[in-house]
Copies of this chain bind each other. A is one copy, B any other.
Amino acid sequence: MGTILLGGSIMMFFNIPSILIVVGGTIASTMIAYPLADIMSIFKSGMKVFIFKIEQPEDIIANLVEISNKARKGGLLSIEGDIQTTPDPYLAQALQMTVDGVKTGDIAAIMQKKMALTKKKLDLGSDMFSSMGSYAPAFGMIGTLIGLVQMLANLDDPSSIGPKMAVAMITTFYGAVMANLFFIPMADKLTGRADLEITNMNIIFEGIISIREGEHPKLMEDKLKVYLAGGKGKEEEKK
């Protein structure tokens, strides 16, 4: 868009070798730095972030309150059915342990370790995009250097200097666009998403502990709603 606005032709900005240098270099460096399996799974889950919305804390709390009510009336065993219908494996395993009568301390320990490991895995995702966001402009500059060296070594035809330099600069352009329009925002996105996921896991964690301890559903709801207030902001909360 910007290009058209500035009055140029888009084809001017399409250059296969430049794309190969920036994309190829970035992929090469990323494959040295990260195992292939990790790269694939991070890209896949990176894409999912845009397709699937994260479960809303409100819904999670409503679900937990419902389960808590059921457990209060019918005993812990009555929530066994929810284990199968729960799509979230974290909640499912926590419910299973609750039904199995695992001690509160052990449930807490396992749930917290899972949270820590999930956090680590999510951080890996934004670290990788962050690295790619620094590799891409570097290879953009490398491509421009290649173009400049070739141009400078053959200055015989002055009329070719301009177009050759234009081509050399396109590589820097590619690197900058890829980094700033994709990799770096993706890293920020995944960091934000990780925060939301960990908050959700924290809500489930506190809810399950509350259910296991047999707290009143209303009390549990009050405690969990603190998370919503924090999310909606101090000012709005009172209205």
Residues of A within 8 A of B (CB): 1-3, 5-8, 12-13, 16-18, 20-21, 24-25, 28-30, 32-35, 38, 41, 45, 88-90, 92, 110, 113-114, 116-118, 120-121, 124, 127, 131, 134-135, 138-139, 141-143, 145-155, 159, 161-163, 165-167, 169-170, 172-173, 176-177, 179-182, 184-186, 188-189, 192, 195, 197, 223, 226-227, 229-231, 233-235, 237-238
Q: Are A234 and B142 in contact (CB under 8 A)?
A: no
Q: A157 CB to closest chain B CB, in angstroms?
A: 11
CB-contact partner of A235 in B89, B150, B170, B230, under 8 A? B89
Whether the pair B117, A146 counts as a contact (CB closer than 8 A) is no
What are 8 inter-chain pairs, A to B, with CB distance below 8 A? A7-B150, A12-B149, A33-B189, A89-B229, A89-B235, A135-B184, A138-B180, A153-B163
Q: Is the interface of A mostly helix, strand, loop or mixed?
A: helix
Least CB distance, A141 to chain B, in whole angstroms:
6
Q: Kindly report which residue of chain B lies nearest to residue A166, judged by CB atoms.
A: B152
Which B residues touch A150, using CB under 8 A?
A: 6-8, 12, 166
B33 engages A185 (CB within 8 Å): yes
Whole-angstrom CA separation of A35 from B155 in the bound complex? 47
Residues of the B chain whose Cβ atoms lie less than 8 Å from the Cβ of A197: 234
Q: Which of B8, B141, B170, B223 contacts A176 (CB 8 A)?
A: B141
